[in-house]
Amino acid sequence: MKNFKNLALILISILFSTNALAQDETIEMLNKLDKETMVYSKKVVRVNVGDTVFWKATDKGHNVEFIKGGVPEGVEKFKSKFNKDTQYTFEIPGIYAYWCTPHKNMGMIGFVVVGDDKSNLEAIKKIRFSAKSKKIAPELINSL
Ligand SMILES: [Cu+2]
């Protein structure tokens, strides 16, 4: 009985410490940030499996669209509505690349690394970005 109680205590403390580590992230969708235009306030975020990322429609005309081939296997496509706050809970580990549909060539791209899993990095490197996004993508991908 004593062992059971200890086990219960251990399980409870693990549960709470995992929750304490959970770190949801909020990213703003912006027309302007410092010298950049059409930009997510954070281009790279790292979260744990089960965490939620919130994208705030601080400025209008933006959205979040997962890039085809730029998410771990088994992840369904995700495309949020323009002008709306959106959120996504990351249940599958790996790298997620996304862009804003109308500004995908203007550097409005972002990455979420889930569970410190970079097993799909090679696929991420193969994404075809254009124009300004093509210019800024390599450095971001190297920073993952
Ligand atoms: Cu945009």
- Please give the pLDDT value at position 2: 58
The residue segments making up the domain with residue 76 are 23-142
Residue 58 lies in a domain: yes
Mean pLDDT calculated for residue range 9-38: 75
CATH number of the domain within which 102 lies: 2.60.40.420
Residue 107 lies in a domain: yes
> Rounded to the nearest whole angstrom, what is the distance from the C-alpha of residue 48 to the centroid of ligand 1?
26
Residue 64 lies in a domain: yes
> Rounded to the nearest whole angstrom, what is the distance from the C-alpha of residue 100 to the centroid of ligand 1?
5
> Rounded to the nearest whole angstrom, what is the distance from the C-alpha of residue 30 to the centroid of ligand 1?
7
- Total domains, the chain: 1
Residue 61 lies in a domain: yes
**Tokens 């580590």, located at residue:** 21
Per-residue HEC secondary structure of the chain comes to CHHHHHHHHHHHHHHHHHHHHCCCEEEEEEEEECCEEEEECCCEEEECCCCEEEEECCCCCCCCEECCCCCCCCCCCCECCCCCCEEEECCCCEEEEEECHHHCCCCCEEEEEECCCCCCHHHHHCCCCCHHHHHHHHHHHHCC
pLDDT tens digit sequence for 63-114:
999 999 999 999 999 999 999 999 999 999 999 999 999 999 999 999 999 9
- 3-state SS, residue 135: helix
> Rounded to the nearest whole angstrom, what is the distance from the C-alpha of residue 58 to the centroid of ligand 1?
11
pLDDT tens digit sequence for 114-137:
999 999 999 999 999 999 999 999
pLDDT tier for residue 3 given thresholds of 50, 70 and 90 = low
Residue 48 lies in a domain: yes
Residue 5 lies in a domain: no
For residues 124 and 70, the answer to whether their CB atoms sit within 8 Å is yes
Mean pLDDT of the chain: 91
> Rounded to the nearest whole angstrom, what is the distance from the C-alpha of residue 59 to the centroid of ligand 1?
9
Residue 85: CB atoms within 10 Å: 14
> Rounded to the nearest whole angstrom, what is the distance from the C-alpha of residue 62 to the centroid of ligand 1?
4
Residue 80 lies in a domain: yes
Residue 12 lies in a domain: no
> Rounded to the nearest whole angstrom, what is the distance from the C-alpha of residue 72 to the centroid of ligand 1?
23
- Please give the pLDDT value at position 23: 77
